[in-house]
Chains A and B, each alone.
Chain A
């Protein structure tokens, strides 16, 4: 792992994303959604992507725009259906995008396992439900568990609040959500932040994602409505 890079633009940061990549995308709804990096990925042009994200896009921006551009082969998520997820809904109904539905905690834990070098794990979530179909079941200590496999990404796109000049990250409020776990689970981790601060000015006790996980950091403008982006 080399030193964290600080490319000048989001487009430069995602430039080497290959066709067919599995891309982990942070965010829960819009909180922690790396909007600028997703826009850059749309511009960059990679196709046939597998997107791992809690949701499957809102309105016609961000992930929804990526889907609308026909660049996504498969979505792995926990909660695709939302009041404004009509882009995904239409593509799914038309058979133009594949869906792997994963309980939210399993989505997080499968990425945690990927980042932590775990080969597989037994989890009680989903036992006896349709999402258990095809999975190995094992009774441990009188309780039933399903065998779950790690979920690796080629690229992770996440949104944090602040980075120091070495690439250590801190987040803001519930925008943290999937960021820290996705940062451990992909080969190339790209974070957008609203502030880059001098090395030494982040409290080492409060660093959430240590720089070892972070390959590239791009600074973006805070959004008008406040918050991280």
Chain B
């Protein structure tokens, strides 16, 4: 596939990699786009932290119901077979390892799979953690969806996170606009690239032994 990918194209790549029948949480922001690319016949079940399994697409027009929103407070719909539950149950489901995948955005991911996505640590920045820390350690597999470089060109896949951590060693795969990385016990491994060679990427990222 040619690249770099747009976030929407990347969402389609992630959706394709999620096995049929999985229970999945898509956090907030960009990862929620993954839902638009999940074929309904796959039977992937979406969990939202505010207490629902079987979440449907974004609600529009007369379908908007203030009592039915996703984790980003966006109005959504329910699918046949949906279930509602309270917050303690919702996070027990998450923390208890019952969700197969979650997809989260990130400021940084480290070579060892540490995740930083809740706080820039900047003075005057108001911290807000929401369900990020619970999700990071709860789902069986944690996928990150992010651009590989900041607008200024700094890598977001780093030897060690400089931003405050959300979870330690919790990320299993990193989906970026330029490549997909598996986080292995030996560090990140390039799974596939988009419009750039593995050698070029290795040059721009500073990991010893980064290879495809």
Where the two chains meet, the residues of A that have a C-beta atom closer than 8 Å to any C-beta of B are 28-32, 54, 78-82, 88-89, 92-93, 99, 101-109, 111-112, 123-131, 171-181, 208, 223, 225-229
Contacts and interface: CB of A to CB of B under 8 A. Distances in A.
Interface in B117-133: 119, 124, 126-133
B15 interface: no
B129 A103 contact: yes
B169 to A, nearest CB: 8
Interface of B: 48-52, 65-69, 73, 78, 84-88, 90-92, 94-95, 114, 119, 124, 126-134, 137-138, 164-168
Contact of A125 (B48, B50, B127, B133): B133
Closest 6 CB pairs of A and B: A105-B91, A105-B134, A128-B168, A227-B66, A29-B73, A81-B128
A92 B126 contact: yes
Contacts of A112: 88
A57 to B, nearest CB: 13
B103 to A, nearest CB: 17
A176 B86 contact: yes
23 contacts: A29-B69, A31-B68, A78-B128, A80-B128, A88-B126, A89-B126, A101-B127, A101-B128, A107-B87, A108-B88, A111-B88, A123-B95, A127-B167, A129-B133, A175-B68, A180-B86, A181-B86, A208-B86, A225-B66, A226-B66, A227-B65, A227-B67, A228-B67
A93 B131 contact: no
B86 A127 contact: no
A105 to B, nearest CB: 3
Nearest to B52: A174
A79 B88 CA distance: 16
Contacts of B73: 28-31
Contacts of A130: 119, 164-165
Nearest to A130: B164
Nearest to A106: B134
A75 B158 CA distance: 34
Instruction: Pick the most buried of A28, A82, A104: most chain B CB atoms within 10 A of its CB.
Output: A104
B129 A79 contact: yes
A92 B124 CA distance: 9
Contacts of A177: 50-51, 86-87
A105 B94 contact: yes
B95 A125 contact: yes
Contact of B85 (A88, A92, A123, A176): A176
Given A29-B69, A89-B126, 18 more contacts: A28-B73, A29-B73, A78-B130, A88-B126, A103-B129, A103-B130, A104-B49, A104-B91, A104-B131, A108-B88, A109-B92, A125-B134, A130-B164, A173-B68, A174-B68, A176-B51, A179-B86, A226-B66
Nearest to A81: B128
A124 B94 CA distance: 12
A181 B87 contact: yes
Contacts of B52: 173-174
B129 A131 contact: yes
A202 to B, nearest CB: 16
Contacts of A54: 87
Contact of B50 (A99, A174, A229): A174
Contact of A173 (B84, B92, B129, B167): B84
A29 B50 CA distance: 10
Contact of A80 (B94, B126, B131, B133): B126
B62 to A, nearest CB: 10
Nearest to B74: A29
